[in-house]
Amino acid sequence: MCNGAAWATGQTLCAEVLVYPTTVKLRPASTPTGRPAKHPVPNRPPCSAAEMLETQRWRRITWRTGTKGPLNARFAAVRVRVADGPLNAEDTRLPGAELWLIGEWRDSGEKKYYLSSLPQRTSLRRLAATVKARWSCEQVHQQLKQELGLGDFEGRSWTGLHRHALMTCIAFAYLQHRRLKAAGRGEKAAPRRTAAAAVAA
């Protein structure tokens, strides 16, 4: 099922998610009785995310260097208003907030679409790097849960949860500092130890 609630985190959209251009205008609608309708009518119908990006210029962007070399793909972006507002009398979703619609065209031919709430002046390179940061965020979250016990909280208070999350984040920052320091010295990776043993050391 398509989900229009995707933001700068990199959550992918269906290509069929409906969007409006930012130039869309709303005009008042009339009812058979002559009264103004509850919701206005857009002066143009919405189109899919894929259609909106068809006429945009796609640029190849490298967002980081991986273990096998530079990671890159073609990207395009345009400001849109997502069709996620209330339904009008014609069962058409009205335009909502103005966001970035970002398209990713991989060398395999696969296309991905994202929405971002980043500011209007954000560059395409920054947009691409932001949506591709999802993998790193997921890896950090997985390490926090599996190695440092983020998911082991059994208390009942909101304050206790925040303190537990803060301590796991501090432990992760310390471990990451040690990893980067070792990498800077050119040390080979030591046999994997548990996070608790590394913190205790």
Contacts of 153 by beta carbon, 8 Å cutoff, 6+ apart: 160, 161, 164, 165
Looking at 51-65, 105-119, 141-155, which range is the least confident one? Answer: 141-155
Residue 6 has pLDDT above 50, yes or no: no
- Lowest mean pLDDT, pick from 53-57, 82-86, 106-110, 189-193: 189-193
Question: What is the value of pTM for the model shown?
Answer: 0.66
Neighbouring CB atoms inside 10 A of 1's CB total 3
* Residue 109, token pair as written in the block: 């031919």
What span, in angstroms and rounded, lies between the C-alpha atoms of 98 and 16? Answer: 18
Banded pLDDT at 119 (limits 50, 70, 90): very high
As a whole number, mean pLDDT of residues 145-164 equals: 87
d(CA 130, CA 70): 16
Does residue 144 register a pLDDT over 90? no
Q: Is the pLDDT of residue 7 over 70?
A: no
Predicted pLDDT at 191? 45
**Per-residue pLDDT reduced to its tens digit, 80-104:** 999 988 877 777 888 988 999 999 9
Position 3 confidence tier, pLDDT thresholds 50, 70, 90:
very low
Q: Please tell me the predicted confidence (pLDDT) of residue 42.
A: 87
What is the 8-class DSSP label of residue 55?
T
Distance between CA atoms of residues 49 and 115, nearest Å = 10
Average of pLDDT values for 21-50? Answer: 80
Confidence of residue 27 (pLDDT cuts 50, 70, 90): confident
Which of 83, 70, 76, 98 lies closest to 39, judged by CA? 83
The set of residues, in sequence order, having a beta carbon less than 8 Å from that of 187 and lying 6+ positions away, is none
In this structure, what DSSP letter does residue 151 have? G
